[in-house]
Amino acid sequence: MSQASLTIGVLALQGAFEAHAKALTALGATAKLVRTPAELKDLDGLIIPGGESTTFLKFLERGGFLDALQTFVATTPTFGTCAGAILLAKDVQNPTQPSLAALDITVERNAYGRQIDSAILTEQTKLEGGPLEMVFIRAPRITHAGPNVETLATRDGSPVLVREGHLLAATFHPELSNDPRVHQLFLDLVRRNLARQNPVNQNLARQDHGR
């Protein structure tokens, strides 16, 4: 299965959704902007971008969108960045708020201060290809990760890129960097998920194992 055959939705209610779509397109995937629950249909995966998580919730509480999204992320690969990571988290603090409760992490909102305290860091990660540029803007902090959550990158000892099953989350903004590796990581995750669903593509899953 080629990446060109993957259709990845980008939740386009706020945030840098166009930048995510551009990154996906550059990697050969088809990006689809999602603004209604009906547009979740037939997606191979979904990106929930950054923004303001409470504003996201206000949009999602209309027309059953939140319930539809919760059902979607339970089984379909989903990647949350910054506010998207907050929405995926099982536990949200500072202050507490509802979420999709899908990813076994605890997240502290605005943990690094105001937008003026944002930073661009280059750190070693578990991804191949050397240090990774990470753009943090009013970033949350992951204060706890469950036993089945894999930490792929850290900042000052706290996870900033994590994976659990078909879910991926970053507290930074990979769409604002020229490095495509985090989006590629998500596309690889999507392809492995599809391969598991289709025995014909089991060889693809074996080829991608360990990425």
- 130 — alpha (psi -120 to 50), left (phi > 0) or beta? left
User: Binning pLDDT at 50, 70 and 90, where does residue 5 land?
Assistant: confident
- Catalytic positions are 82, 173, 175
pLDDT at 199: 61
* pLDDT tier for residue 205 given thresholds of 50, 70 and 90: very low
- CB-based contacts of 173, cutoff 8 Å, min separation 6: 16, 50, 81, 82, 135, 136, 137
pLDDT tens column, 71-99: 999 999 999 999 999 999 999 998 899 99
Q: Is residue 183 predicted with pLDDT exceeding 90?
A: yes
Q: How many angstroms separate the CA atoms of 35 and 209, rounded?
A: 33
- The domains of the chain, with CATH numbers, are 3-206 (3.40.50.880)
Tens-digit pLDDT profile for residues 7-40 = 999 999 988 999 999 999 999 999 999 999 999 9
pLDDT in tens, 159-171: 999 999 999 999 9
The pLDDT of residue 2 is 56
Taking Cα atoms as reference points, which of 38, 117, 45, 32 lies closest to residue 80? 45
Mean predicted lDDT score pLDDT of the chain: 90
How many Å apart are CA 111 and CA 139, to the nearest integer?
A: 6
- Considering the entire predicted model, what is its pTM? 0.90
pLDDT of residue 138: 87
